[in-house]
Structure 1
Amino acid sequence: MIEQSRLWDDQAAAEYDTPGEGMFAPEVLEPTVAVLRDLAAGGPALEFAIGTGRVAIPLRAAGVEVTGIELSEPMIARLREKADAERIPVVAGDMTTARAGEGFALVYLVFNTIANLLTQAEQVECFRSAARHLAPGGCFVIELAVPDLRSLAPGHGGTVEVSQPGYLLVDTYDTLRQQLVSHHLRFDPTVDGARGARIDRTPQRYIWPSELDLMAQLAGFALEDRWAGWDRSEFTADSRSHVSVYRLPTLSG
């Protein structure tokens, strides 16, 4: 986890928010908040890797009490510019081991962030951490991309995911270890040559939906729903991402 904490540094925190655009666009956030509010069902929620509060702040505004766990101190500092500790409490630490209380109705982990845990063992511990924080009958929601290995040409270990003026995203794969590295190349498109370009790399461990379900079972969860997105559309073999809802059993009488 040391490597991840270094990735989410002051520069990453300063550049993370894109108000009204990208993952901060209303058409992205509004259905996300609506689903999470419904699943919380009036109870408190815990966000793993709360970041700068992209989801937590509008969810709190929708009436849900939200607590967070976050590894990056710069990301917490950016969140604190928008919401104080009384409104959204945050525990600084690793989401696999940090404790933020218990009895939550909902734990959620969005935007592929479970893939930031780079081993299968850490990802399983993330599920167990969610189970420790939840009340009986509570649910754990994960938003995650489906590995796009079908796009890999024979003999090639990478794909160009985005190509636009000033920005290039290349994903490289190690299929034996289920490792993916996203390479973000940013440059001034008006300048010829490579000078002035900046590259950031984000390592991930990708997870197949069936493997994610097994991790859930190891922590005592059962799959309740799986959608292709926050609009609750049908998940199919062609879906590029999924929102999966796992639930703990209720206490027996």
Structure 2
Amino acid sequence: MKAFDSPSAWDRMEAYDATPWAAGDDEEAASAFLAKVADGGPALELGIGTGRVALTLARSGVPVTGIESSPKMLEQLRAKPGGAELDVVLGDFADVPVEGAFSLVYCVYHSFFLLLTQEEQLRCFQNVADRLKPGGAFVLQTFVLTADQYGQNDWTDTMHLGDDEAVLLMSLHDADEQRVNRQQIVLTTSGSRFYPMSFRYAWPSELDLMARMAGLTREERLTGWDGEPFPHPGHVTVYRKSE
């Protein structure tokens, strides 16, 4: 199944954070969790986007560096208060193309699954391990496909329904490749907009194996930033590099 060009989807969004169905609303909880894991040390965000989490984390006193592949998202980050002060590299976060060592590397809101092959995802783990200080942590926020979804070739969800706007999520599923091609379709009285994206999901056990191959150990897996225990369709996992 041919993948959509995901970076171009983000470039189509003129105001990502103002789109209520596009982004999570958990930056305060995420920042508090990540600041505790970072323990004052420098942090690196993979797929920093518009800085929704990074700017909140930076305001808590944690130095944050970011990697982003979308120039449009980076423009929106730079336009925010404090955005121009963040050190951000434009590039593929699988390569982790930054210098230095970090106490924390993190990737939120399922962005890790935008790496569309197992090889890319494993390379990311290995490069993250190289950038972590001894005792540093890699934190992933991802999801688990439900049993109903895994057994389907396609599905449609309603993400948002308003007086003059509806947002549909249409997905095609390739279970063999663990690939989902998805269209976010925005229907309004003035016309339609399409935001295509692709992702390659990985099961929790597969992520754990990638981590071990990179020299990292799973420390904990939680439902979310609030610390509720796994399992749940979404999860936050902390991997640790040995001292």
* Distance (Å, rounded) in 1 between the aligned partners of 2:109 and 2:83: 23
Structure 1 residue 199: Cα displacement: 2.6
* Distance (Å, rounded) in 2 between the aligned partners of 1:198 and 1:23: 17
Alignment partner for residue 159 of structure 1, among 152, 155, 158?
155
What amino acid sits opposite 1:214 in the alignment?
L
What amino acid sits opposite 2:55 in the alignment?
I
* Distance (Å, rounded) in 2 between the aligned partners of 1:99 and 1:144: 22
1:220 aligned residue: 215
* Distance (Å, rounded) in 1 between the aligned partners of 2:22 and 2:179: 25
What amino acid sits opposite 1:246 in the alignment?
Y
Task: Indicate if the aligned counterparts of 2:46 and 2:107 stay in contact, CA closer than 8 A.
Answer: yes
1:248 aligned residue: 241
What amino acid sits opposite 2:9 in the alignment?
L
Percent same amino acid at aligned positions?
A: 38
Query: 1:101 and 1:160, CA in 2 relative to 1: closer, same or farther beyond 3 A?
Result: same
Query: 1:160 and 1:221, CA in 2 relative to 1: closer, same or farther beyond 3 A?
Result: same
Structure 1 residue 161: Cα displacement: 2.7
Bigger drift between 42-51 and 144-153 goes to 144-153
Greater strand share, structure number:
2
Q: Which structure ranks higher in relative contact order (CA pairs < 8 Å, sequence separation ≥ 6)?
A: 2
2:176 aligned residue: 176
Task: Indicate if the aligned counterparts of 2:225 and 2:236 stay in contact, CA closer than 8 A.
Answer: yes
Secondary structure at 1:197's aligned position in 2?
Answer: strand
Alignment partner for residue 67 of structure 1, among 62, 65, 68?
65
* Distance (Å, rounded) in 2 between the aligned partners of 1:85 and 1:30: 17
Secondary structure at 1:187's aligned position in 2?
Answer: strand
Task: Indicate if the aligned counterparts of 1:95 and 1:129 stay in contact, CA closer than 8 A.
Answer: no
What amino acid sits opposite 1:202 in the alignment?
M
* Distance (Å, rounded) in 1 between the aligned partners of 2:107 and 2:80: 20
* Distance (Å, rounded) in 2 between the aligned partners of 1:223 and 1:163: 33
Secondary structure at 1:172's aligned position in 2?
Answer: strand
1:177-228: CA deviations, max 9, x gaps?
Answer: 110122211112x68xxxx333322111011000010111111100001001
1:65-109: CA deviations, max 9, x gaps?
Answer: 001011111111111111557631101111122422222100000
Query: 1:229 and 1:98, CA in 2 relative to 1: closer, same or farther beyond 3 A?
Result: closer
Q: Return 5+ residue gaps in structure 1 as ranges.
A: none
Structure whose alpha-carbon radius of gyration is higher: 1
Query: How many pairs align?
Result: 237
Secondary structure at 2:168's aligned position in 1?
Answer: strand
Secondary structure at 2:85's aligned position in 1?
Answer: coil
Secondary structure at 2:15's aligned position in 1?
Answer: helix
Structure 1 residue 152: Cα displacement: 5.5
1:42 aligned residue: 40
1:143 aligned residue: 141
Task: Indicate if the aligned counterparts of 2:182 and 2:198 stay in contact, CA closer than 8 A.
Answer: yes
1:197 aligned residue: 192
Secondary structure at 1:135's aligned position in 2?
Answer: strand
* Distance (Å, rounded) in 2 between the aligned partners of 1:128 and 1:225: 19
Task: Indicate if the aligned counterparts of 2:94 and 2:115 stay in contact, CA closer than 8 A.
Answer: no
Q: Post-superposition, which runs of at least 4 consecutive aligned residues in structure 1 deviate over 6 A?
A: 19-22
* Distance (Å, rounded) in 2 between the aligned partners of 1:62 and 1:47: 15
Q: Return 5+ residue gaps in structure 2 as ranges.
A: none
Query: 1:108 and 1:163, CA in 2 relative to 1: closer, same or farther beyond 3 A?
Result: closer
* Distance (Å, rounded) in 2 between the aligned partners of 1:122 and 1:49: 14
* Distance (Å, rounded) in 1 between the aligned partners of 2:139 and 2:186: 32
CA RMSD of aligned residues (A): 2.3
Secondary structure at 1:186's aligned position in 2?
Answer: strand
What TM-score results when the alignment is normalised by the length of structure 1?
A: 0.86
Query: 1:243 and 1:202, CA in 2 relative to 1: closer, same or farther beyond 3 A?
Result: same
